[in-house]
Amino acid sequence: MDEDFKDVTANSKKMGIIFVLIIVAIMMGGYFFVFKPIYFSVKTVEVELGSEIPTKIETYLGSYGGKLSDYELNLGKIDKDTVGEYTYTITNKKITKKGKIVVVDTEAPTFTLQDMTIEEGDEDYFLGSFLATCEDKSKPCLVNLKNAKDESKFKTPGTYTIEIEVSDVYGNKESGKVNLTVVEKGKYTDPKSLDLEYASNSKKTETFDGLIYKKLEKAIEAQTDQARDEMNAVSTLDLESYVTTNHPGYKLVSSEIIELYNKSNYVIGYAIELKITNGKEKIVYVDSTKVLEQPIEDGTEEDDTEKDETT
């Protein structure tokens, strides 16, 4: 009898201990389910220059727990058109982690080529003249000889096939073949210099309806020593005296020399735009036929044109 009582008591204690352990386990499980932190990782994401930035959060999450809807993605300010590293964040409840978006340029320029002709002894040739067109998201397009030995061909009359390399500032490159013709000294005329038809101007206005102050007999390449010399010669005009003589009662406010270009962006002439005032401003152009004691070759015979501009 006593032994049976002892067995029941011992079993009761065991059951009580097991019950307590079960309750503790349930409580601990519930605690961790409700309060335990969610561990997740983020990725470094590469995006090609100019491409749209992904917006799906799974693109940026590495390992994670729970539902995707529990996570919030913040992309911040990312310039998809500029190579560089940018920061994004992902938040789950009170935990926020930072990741990187790297905008990269891995694509070579796309381009078309054109042949080039130069004169023997010309050392001012520009390899970029081999490019008819070039498109690249990391401008400018850079042109080099693929074979350095081809440089000697630019000094000797003849026609050669050479290979050039077109790259961007990040080293992405492609190559292509073009023809180079070197003409004997004294026998070459740049065909672009014979085109004297107006196409554009240095002010980048759609049209130009002012007076041409000086017309060139041959078009010259812009931003060369010859073009700078021509610009300097034009700039020596005494504009204060010109305004006093030709526009009595007006004073000079400002002036601008405008380069006029043909379709090849060669300079074909110059105009001088003046802003003058007598209390009311207007725009006029210098008329070469009215410049005293400063004869200008190939000056126009057009009348001075004026445009009112209200201050």
- Which of 14-28, 131-145, 228-242, 253-267 is predicted with the least confidence, judged by mean pLDDT? 14-28
Domain positions in the chain:
44-104, 110-183, 191-308
Under CATH, to which class is 110-183 assigned?
A: mainly beta
Q: What is the pLDDT of residues 30-88, one digit of tens each?
A: 554 555 556 899 999 999 999 999 999 999 999 998 889 999 999 999 999 999 999 99
Q: Please give the C-alpha separations between residue 90 and each of 17, 39, 63, 74, 84, in angstroms, as whole numbers.
A: 45, 12, 13, 6, 20
Q: Looking at the DSSP assignment, which residues form a beta bridge with residue 116?
A: 180
Q: Considering the domain 44-104, what is its CATH architecture?
A: Sandwich (2.60)
Q: How confident is the model at residue 301 (pLDDT cuts 50, 70, 90)?
A: very low
- The reply to whether 110-183 shares the fold of 44-104 is yes
Burial pattern 76-87, b for ≥16 Cβ within 10 A else e, equals eebeeeeeeebe
Answer for the pair 162, 144: CB distance below 8 angstroms, yes or no: no
